[in-house]
A and B are shown apart, each in its own frame.
Chain A
Amino acid sequence: MSELSVKHLLGIKGLIKSDIDLIFSTADQFKEVINRPIKKVPSLRDITIANLFFENSTRTKLSFELAEKRLSADVINFSSSGSSVKKGETLIDTVNNILSMKVDMVVMRHPNPGAAAFLAQHVNTTIVNAGDGTHEHPTQALLDAYTIRERLGDCKGKKIVIVGDIKHSRVALSNIFCLQLLGAEVMVCGPTTLIPKHIHELGVKVSHNLKEALEWCDVANMLRIQLERQGGDGQSIGYFPSIREYAMQFGLNKEILDGLSKKIVVMHPGPINRGVEINSDVADSDQSIILQQVENGVAIRMAVLYLLASGISRS
């Protein structure tokens, strides 16, 4: 019998290795469950979960909702557009109002870094962080590492390069914490402007040359260029001269992939900008595990919700 060391999932940073191992071994069983003819188990039938999305999301929201439903939890959804948030209600008030309707758990995405941790301190419920600004996106990192483990057997000793907009990416930060905890080596690669100045203090390698980085790695995780965080077309703030130039320097295509001395695995957290950070001939190739990541996302989220829910008292 074992349980998580945390009451909330706010980020990978608060986890220890045994937490991740427990989440993975539980996810193994849920992966079997979601491949059955009847994909539902009754574990969370007395739990109500609120999905609060203050920022847009397709994959994560659907994945969480599906995970909750497969565990038989009751689910309510909330998105900030068209809500009282627009009328000036504070985050704590919004959440406390939802909680007074007897909700047991909150899954939240918010544009402000630290929003989930803030909420965990001020309201009395179990919080799962589904992405807080440029800070962390723990379930994404867990499903990425889980998919690597599934494909390569283990994360330990593997070399993973994260390519692209590291500066604005919560996926990158959570991935670095998670992969390092599991004993993998991490490198970040991208234009100087999109790599945080002090990132090497996290113990990661830094490269500005895609080809060099790919030669080094076993797995390449291609991040999306976050146009919405860069003022539209990427030119107004000027992190890089143009999308076209970025694609030429840091976009992954079949030609580069085939030119490498070994076969690497390609990942992408989605949504893909085809032709920018990754070309269609790579995204749809057998070296890409993008769709496995999405499938595993449901199993990982089921495991996280199941393990956290067991800590909620019944009274």
Chain B
Amino acid sequence: MRPSTLIDSRQLELIIERLSHQLVENHDDFKDSVLLGIQPRGIYLTNRIQANLEKILGPKCKIQSGKLDITFYRDDFRRRESPLEANTTNLDFIIEDKRVILIDDVLYTGRTIRAAMDAMLAYGRPKDVELLILIDRRFSRQLPIESNYVGMAVDSLASQRVKVQWAESEKEDKVLLYSTEEKNV
């Protein structure tokens, strides 16, 4: 069985546009707000959102964005077969008193976001923190974490897998839902 397509490239474009407008609604001209993408796969969404925001707000508004790696903050270290390879953290501003928008592609158990909040706090004490997610896998949270901005909510089984593909890395924008059987193929 082939994976089912949850979102195609046209829908994805619309969703990102909607999310960007929702952000502008709450953050106005982004004077004190920053985007923080979670490594590795939150970065693609962050870049798209940033580009969209700059389009909406015009060239005079500079949107600050950074990359956050959470490898060293994960709670499954030594519970896996082998260590996860770390990614770059790239934050060239201080988040002290800033309004931070954390961005990732999929929200599932909530553990990544827990680790990201820990990692983020090493760079200062933000004024407030929001979460923006493309796919929210509902009813599968293991921690009390919810997203402020949701691209699409999906009901899925634990045995299924959601994969967000980006033109930058997989040649095509697409969100797919895999069932366990195909993982072995």
Binding site for B on A (CB under 8 A): 1-3, 22, 25-26, 28-29, 32-33, 36-38, 40-44, 46, 71, 306-307, 309-310, 312-314
Is residue B69 contacting chain A, with contact meaning CB distance below 8 A?
A: yes
* Interfacial residues of chain B within 93-123, with CB under 8 A of chain A in the complex: 94, 118-119, 121-123
* Interfacial residues of chain B within 62-96, with CB under 8 A of chain A in the complex: 69, 71-73, 77-89, 94
B83 contacts which of A3, A33, A41, A313 (Cβ < 8 Å)? A3
A29 touches B69 (CB 8 A): yes
User: B144 to nearest A CB, angstroms?
Assistant: 20
A37 touches B72 (CB 8 A): no
A32 contacts which of B73, B79, B88, B124 (Cβ < 8 Å)? B88
* Across-interface contacts of B79 in A (CB, < 8 A): 314
Interface pairs A-B: 4 shortest CB-CB: A41-B72, A310-B83, A3-B82, A29-B86
User: B18 to nearest A CB, angstroms?
Assistant: 34
> What residue in chain A is nearest B124 (Cβ atoms)?
A37
B123 touches A37 (CB 8 A): yes
User: B21 to nearest A CB, angstroms?
Assistant: 34
A42 touches B118 (CB 8 A): yes
* Across-interface contacts of A26 in B (CB, < 8 A): 85-86
* Across-interface contacts of B71 in A (CB, < 8 A): 29
Q: A29-B88, A37-B124 are in contact. List 10 more A-B contacts (CB 8 A).
A: A1-B84, A3-B82, A38-B122, A42-B72, A43-B72, A43-B73, A43-B77, A306-B83, A314-B78, A314-B79
B85 touches A1 (CB 8 A): yes
* Across-interface contacts of A37 in B (CB, < 8 A): 94, 122-124
In the bound assembly, the distance between CA atoms of A283 and B5 in angstroms comes to 63
The answer to whether A33 and B78 touch (CB under 8 A), given A42-B118, A307-B83, is no
* Across-interface contacts of A71 in B (CB, < 8 A): 72
User: B160 to nearest A CB, angstroms?
Assistant: 22
* Across-interface contacts of A38 in B (CB, < 8 A): 121-123
> What residue in chain A is nearest B79 (Cβ atoms)?
A314
Chain B interface category by residue count: 20 to 34
In the bound assembly, the distance between CA atoms of A2 and B80 in angstroms comes to 11
Interface centre among B85, B88, B94, B123 (most CB of A within 10 A): B85
In the bound assembly, the distance between CA atoms of A38 and B121 in angstroms comes to 8
B77 touches A310 (CB 8 A): yes
In the bound assembly, the distance between CA atoms of A209 and B81 in angstroms comes to 51
In the bound assembly, the distance between CA atoms of A51 and B31 in angstroms comes to 49
In the bound assembly, the distance between CA atoms of A277 and B162 in angstroms comes to 61
* Across-interface contacts of A33 in B (CB, < 8 A): 72, 89, 122
* Across-interface contacts of B81 in A (CB, < 8 A): 1
User: B122 to nearest A CB, angstroms?
Assistant: 4
In the bound assembly, the distance between CA atoms of A40 and B122 in angstroms comes to 8
B122 touches A1 (CB 8 A): no
In the bound assembly, the distance between CA atoms of A200 and B94 in angstroms comes to 53
In the bound assembly, the distance between CA atoms of A152 and B90 in angstroms comes to 23
In the bound assembly, the distance between CA atoms of A38 and B80 in angstroms comes to 27
In the bound assembly, the distance between CA atoms of A14 and B26 in angstroms comes to 57
User: A78 to nearest B CB, angstroms?
Assistant: 25
> What residue in chain B is nearest A47 (Cβ atoms)?
B78
* Across-interface contacts of A28 in B (CB, < 8 A): 88
In the bound assembly, the distance between CA atoms of A1 and B83 in angstroms comes to 6
Interface centre among A36, A71, A309 (most CB of B within 10 A): A36
A41 touches B73 (CB 8 A): yes
* Across-interface contacts of B86 in A (CB, < 8 A): 25-26, 29
User: A254 to nearest B CB, angstroms?
Assistant: 37
* Across-interface contacts of A314 in B (CB, < 8 A): 78-79
* Across-interface contacts of A40 in B (CB, < 8 A): 122
* Across-interface contacts of B77 in A (CB, < 8 A): 43-44, 310
> What residue in chain B is nearest A25 (Cβ atoms)?
B85
In the bound assembly, the distance between CA atoms of A86 and B154 in angstroms comes to 67
* Across-interface contacts of A43 in B (CB, < 8 A): 72-73, 77
* Across-interface contacts of B123 in A (CB, < 8 A): 36-38
> What residue in chain B is nearest A22 (Cβ atoms)?
B85
Query: Can you give 14 contacting A-B residue pairs, CB < 8 Å?
Result: A1-B84, A2-B82, A28-B88, A29-B69, A29-B86, A32-B89, A36-B122, A37-B123, A38-B121, A41-B73, A41-B122, A42-B72, A43-B73, A307-B83
B78 touches A312 (CB 8 A): yes
> What residue in chain B is nearest A44 (Cβ atoms)?
B77
> What residue in chain B is nearest A36 (Cβ atoms)?
B122
